[in-house]
A and B are shown apart, each in its own frame.
Chain A
Amino acid sequence: MYEIWLMLNIVWEILLTAWTLVLVLLLLFVGLSLAAVLRRGANWRAAWPVALAGAALVGVASFLLLPSLTRSSLGELKFWVDWLALAGVAGGFALLAAALLLPLTAFLKRQGI
């Protein structure tokens, strides 16, 4: 339990160090979601495949690039927890991408167009 609480605090502090970026992404998400919800004919069903594909792309790219961006390399992943941790972080970026791509694509792909 303590480790979970510690991890939440670590994530919180990391977000604080990049709070302007977090704020921009949050506003972007809210703006896109509102725009998609309020737009007549927003095609959510068609948006899912695009959002998932985009998220997968971001996830894979994150998985491959994160080690070198943190001054390490994929070759240093020699322990199963390394793979798990990297997959978790990459999954977080993928989720973020999906959260932005879904309303954006729904907004752009109007039903019947």
Chain B
Amino acid sequence: MKQRPVVGKSPATGRPRTGSADLQRRRWLRAFGAAPLAAGIAAQPAQAAMKTNARIVIAGSGLGGIAVASRLMKQLDGASVTIIDVRQKHYYPPGFTLVATGVWPVDKVVDPTADFIPAGVKWIPEMVAEFDPAANAVVTSGGQSIAYDYLVVATGLQLDYAQIEGMDVAAIGRNGLANVYAGPDAAVASWTALDAFRQTGGQALMTLPAGPLKCAGAPLKMTFMVADRLQQAGTLANSRIDFHTGLPTDTVFGVKVVNDNVLARWKALGIHNHCLSKLVAVDPGARKATFASPEGERQTLAYDFLHVVPPMRAPDVVKKSDLAWKQGGFAPGGWLEVDRATLQHRRYKNVFGIGDINGTPRGKTAATVKKSAPLVAHNLTQLIVGREPDARFDGYTSCPLIVREGSAMLIEFDYDGKLTPSLPMIDPLQESYLAWLMKVRMLKPAYVSVLKGRV
């Protein structure tokens, strides 16, 4: 099917012109970024790009989509790689907790998407409105039908605020309402709410739903940082922090040793944990939140500060397609039905998934993408040459778990919840300045390297 060209794209690069005042500066930076590292350190083994005329469509321009595109452009010669995503701004979600707790300014988590679209990749600034894997085609929000030979689904996930009655994203930042997931603006607004709350202290309610979660450590980090901000302001003593989770008894994190460590720290900080208590409604104006037990028993609590974490699921476009799990634990959320080892779709073999959309255990983090993007690019390339995908993913993910301003734990683990520290001599449960330094200074540069397909 014929594709409509991108409006206003540069004839030199094939990428859309942004026309922004700082475009020249950014192009200079791109030129530097695209240049190889100094000869002495650019020791990556050179591989000849494989010739192919395969048409590859990538749905989504988040970390996963762009990282796979960058790698495919290096590995394939002649392939047509198309990214479909309307978003003009690329967010750095791992920084949202830092923005929401007053550590970072918001500009550190927002960049133009155009800065990261690899040269030679066609970018269609629309959304995928429909997947038709039986016909090997996608339909965009603009009505284009785009045929593909191979598809990479990297749509990310949907924050399902509709499951919380009365929740209004526009109200974040007012009346003590906070939410770290909704985006950069919500993160800034959350800091406004937290900053006001810490002046006086009071009742803080922190929440965590059951089910697959993007960066499952974020609600814990927010809880630690709320306690720390109160302590810094001298208002912790006259405050109370309650953590309500929909998870079973004494569970706030999926890895037991980490879970137990966090609960012990919370006990020392006086943070109260309430399990099987799911946030179901909020009245921001009255500052009241309603929680429900699995038996349906409801309890409405007043708060001065509420951190809302919504349930998460696949976007409708995936959930309602034939690409979603049809049975099993991932079916209700509509997550992408991929093999957890190869990340290849279990029924449509020319489809791969990357990032938050995958119906796999754990690992909806940037660290997971860092480890799995090379694997997806490799397995897809194997498929193009007629071989079986042979790279296998162990479910690696990591979480720099902030325990207070200035200190964190660097926790890495796999599908089975087994700790897998990159540096074996370092104790993952030891709070550390280095882990903090990595979180605030080193992980964004690492993230950008992943986007560029280098690491």
Contacts and interface: CB of A to CB of B under 8 A. Distances in A.
Do A and B make up one complex? yes
Interface of A: 2-3, 5-6, 8-14, 16-17, 19, 67, 70-73, 76-79, 81-82, 85-86
B38 to A, nearest CB: 9
B37 A9 contact: yes
Contact of B440 (A5, A8, A70, A73): A70
Interface stretch (B14-22, B302-310, B344-352, B428-436): B428-436
A5 B455 contact: yes
Contacts, number: 87
23 contacts: A2-B455, A3-B423, A5-B43, A8-B37, A8-B41, A9-B455, A12-B37, A13-B446, A13-B449, A14-B441, A14-B442, A17-B445, A70-B440, A76-B407, A78-B430, A78-B433, A79-B431, A79-B432, A79-B433, A81-B425, A82-B432, A85-B434, A86-B433
Nearest to B430: A79
Given A12-B37, A71-B103, A72-B406, A19 B440 contact: no
The 4 closest A-B pairs by CB, nearest first: A72-B406, A13-B445, A9-B449, A82-B433
Contacts of A9: 37, 445-446, 449, 454-455
B437 A70 contact: yes
Given A13-B445, A14-B442, 9 more contacts: A9-B449, A14-B445, A70-B441, A71-B406, A76-B436, A81-B423, A82-B433, A85-B433, A85-B437
B391 interface: no
A10 B441 CA distance: 9
A16 B33 contact: yes
A18 B423 CA distance: 28
Contacts of A86: 433
Given A71-B440, A72-B406, A85-B437, A10 B445 contact: yes
A12 B114 CA distance: 21
Given A3-B422, A5-B44, A6-B449, A19 B29 contact: yes
Nearest to B407: A76
A10 B433 contact: no
Task: Identify which of B37, B422, B433, B448 gathers the most chain A CB atoms within 10 Å of its CB.
Answer: B433
A76 B409 CA distance: 12
A76 B433 contact: yes
B143 to A, nearest CB: 39
Nearest to B449: A9
A85 B439 CA distance: 14
Contacts of A14: 441-442, 445
A16 B33 CA distance: 7
B406 A67 contact: yes
Nearest to A17: B445
A77 B430 CA distance: 11
A79 B434 contact: yes
Contact of B446 (A10, A79, A82): A10
A97 to B, nearest CB: 20
A71 B405 contact: yes
B426 interface: yes
Contact of B434 (A13, A73, A81): A81
A92 B44 CA distance: 24
Contacts of B427: 79
